[in-house]
Structure formats: structure tokens, C-alpha cells
Amino acid sequence: MTATETSVRWTTICPLERLLPERGVAALVGDVQVALFRLHDGSVHAVGNVDPFSGAAVMSRGIVGDRGGVPTVASPVYKQAFSLVDGRCLDDADVSLPSYPVRVEDGQLDVGLPW
């Protein structure tokens, strides 16, 4: 995390409690749409909200789960699964979502976008 911490700008999004376990929310940071997920084990992940296959900003509305132990979100449009850890698409090696660092401070959820 230290390597990225120096190169990102943190933005506070909302209280962590606002996120239902295993369900996403969308956030707008400048003109970047981010999809944020809180998992069953309490961890939080952020990836791009725009589905690369349909172009619609809907990733935050996908179903969260796992594939072979990797936490995933499935696009609600055409159902491809994406890793919540690094954003790569598990159904198409050529496609991935941007992924962003997240942190929780004083119960507030922050997402880091590159400078």
C-alpha cells in the first residue's frame, strides 16, 4: 500500500456503514465513476464502474461472489465476472476494470485515485 499511497489522491466517499455487505455502491469522484464493494469478511474494494462490455456504468449493481476463491463481481449486463482484487476479467484475459486503493479512517471510506 505504501507504494501507491504516495501517488494517489484520497477522496472520502461515505461512512463504511452505508455499504451493505456483498453489495456495491457507485461513487462519483470528479468525472470518474467508481464501484465500491464491502465483502462478507469486512474488506472493501474499488474498481471502475463502467462495464467494458456494454459501456454502461453499472458494475456497482452486479452480484458479488467468488470464483475459485477470488472475490468477484459479475456485470449485470452480460454477466462477465471481474476480480475485485485487481479488476481483471476472469472470462476474457484481454479485458480489465481499473482498480483503486481504498482505506477506512474513523469509519469513513476513502478511495484513492491516481494524481
Partner 1 sequence: MLELVVIGNGMVGHRLVQALCDRDSAGEWHITVLGEEARPAYDRVALSSYVDGVSAEDLTLPSLTVDLHLGDPAVAVDRDARRVTTESGRVLPYDALVLATGSVPFVPPVPGRDLPGCFVYRTLDDLDAIRAAAAEAVARPGAGRRSAVVVGGGLLGLEAARALRSLGLSPQVVEIAPRLMPVQVDEGGGALLRRLVESAELAVRCGVSVNGIAEDRGRLVATLSDGVELDADLVVFSAGIRPADALARAAGLPVGERGGVLVDERCRTSDEHVWAIGEVAALEGRTYGLVAPGYAMAEVVADRLLGGRATMTPEELDMSTQLKMLGVDVASFGDAQATTPGALEVVVNDPVAGTYAKLVVSDDARTLLGGVLVGDASKYAALRPLVGSPLPADPVAMIAPGGVELGADALPDSAQICSCNAVTKGAVVHAIGDGADTVPALKACTRAGTSCGSCVPLLKKLLVDSGVQVSKALCEHFAFSRAELFEIVASTGIRTFSGLVDEHGTGRGCDICKPAVASILASLGTGHVHDGEQAALQDTNDHFLANLQRNGTYSVVPRLPGGEVSPEQLIIIGEVARDFGLYTKITGGQRIDMFGARVEQLPAIWRRLVDAGFESGHAYGKSLRTVKSCVGTTWCRYGVQDSVGLAVALELRYRGLRAPHKFKSGVSGCARECAEARSKDFGIIATDQGWNLYVGGNGGFTPRHAELLASDLDTATLVRYIDRYLMFYIRTADRLQRTAPWIESLEGGLDHLRAVVVEDSLGIAADLEAAMEQHVGSYADEWRGVLEDEEKLARFVSFVNAPDTPDPLVRTREERGQRVPVALGLPGVGA
Neighbours of 84 (CB within 10 A): 24
Q: Shortest approach of partner 1 to residue 27 CB, angstroms? A: 5
Specify burial of residue 20 (Cβ count, 10 A radius: 0-12, 13-18, 19+): exposed
In the region spanning residues 8 to 37, those forming contacts with partner 1, defined by CB under 8 A, are 13-14, 18-23, 25-29, 31, 33, 36
Is 31 exposed, middle or buried (CB count within 10 Å of its CB: 0-12, 13-18, 19+)?
exposed
Among 9, 17, 43, 66, binds partner 1 (CB under 8 A): 66
Residues lying near partner 1 in the complex (CB under 8 A): 13-14, 18-23, 25-29, 31, 33, 36, 39-40, 50, 52-58, 61-69, 71-72, 74, 76-77, 79, 81, 86-87, 94-99
